[in-house]
Amino acid sequence: MKPFLGFWGQLKKPFFVLAPLANVTDAVFRKHIIRYSKPAVLWTEFVSADGLCHPKGRAALIRDLRYSEEERPIVAQLFTAHPENMREAAKLVTELGFDGIDINMGCPDKNVMRQGAGAACMKDPELAQQLIFAAREGSLAAGKELPISVKTRLGFNEDTLEEWLPKLLEAQPAVITLHARTKKDMSKVPARWERVQRAVEIAAGSGTLIFGNGDVQDITDAEQKVRETGVDGVMLGRAIFGNPWLFDKNNQVTVREKLLAAVEHTKLFEETWQDTKSFELMKKHYQAYINHFPKAKELRVELMSCHSAREVEKIIERFLGDHADLAKKYSTIQI
């Protein structure tokens, strides 16, 4: 018996997908990205299954499960250490119309691990299996089987791939995305893609798709990693910052285009969230949009003092007016 792949079985390999990033890949960010280049699959930010199981928590967290039809296929990522809560949350996610469910078993956040969730799952393989089973049961209880996937790491404090991965494979998830570092590594060491290749070898014949994640610069780099490791897909994360063109391999972007994309992102953020999310969250993106051209630092400093989309738009319009030659001269830039 092979894993249920659902929509994954209908897509062409290799898959190039966008990583779930906390406080980044919300409904606004994803909608903004697909205006410029669309990943094969999108993930939500990770959402607490425990919180979704309580009326007050659900009311607050349901916002993080917003999505648009244009984003499909769209996967909801959940975390918990309680199978019964995973079951209930998976049922809700299925009823909301998501195409798949992903379980976070790699987040190193201390608050998440203190709950026994995220990267802490790697210390309890039996619980990890139960969470996969529970997610599957929850989707079936809603009347539709969704493919269940897992995002994890090489191990907790040490690389235990040879022991950890087979345990996950026993539960027959559709996809396992492997961030090629341990929890202890965080992002302090280079991702070990040779271990992703080893994961492909371990999973051979299982029917489970293996994705690699970590330090991928762009689609050209992702394609090279597919050739080197035999992986079924590559998940790109931090490379998306300031670069909504990431999934268009042939992009050439002007300074003007990049700055106008920052304006559009800001407008969409403000229109969608209004006063339900702090405008300060938007400012982390300016660090990524506003770089690789002269006077970028000065422009960033100005934008960091803004409190509205209109302020941002006025400052960027003035900058483009004052530096028209710069935008023309640097018609292609590193992004």
CB 74 within 8 A of CB 42: yes
Which amino acid makes up residue 39? P
Q: How many CB atoms lie within 10 A of CB 19?
A: 23
| Pairing label, strands 74-79, 100-105 | parallel
Q: What is the CA angle 5-214-11, rounded to 5?
A: 25
* Size of the chain in residues: 335
| CA 103-265-97 angle, 5° bins | 35
Contact 152, 166 (CB under 8 A): no
Q: How far is CA 135 from the centre of its chain?
A: 19
Q: SS3 of 73, please?
A: coil
**Is 121 an active-site residue?**
no
How many Å apart are CA 51 and CA 59, to the nearest integer?
9
Q: How far apart are the first and last CA of the chain?
A: 44
What is the bridge-based pairing of β-strands 100-105 and 233-236? Answer: unpaired
Of 53, 107, 121, 306, which is the active-site residue? 107
Which residues have a catalytic role annotated? 107
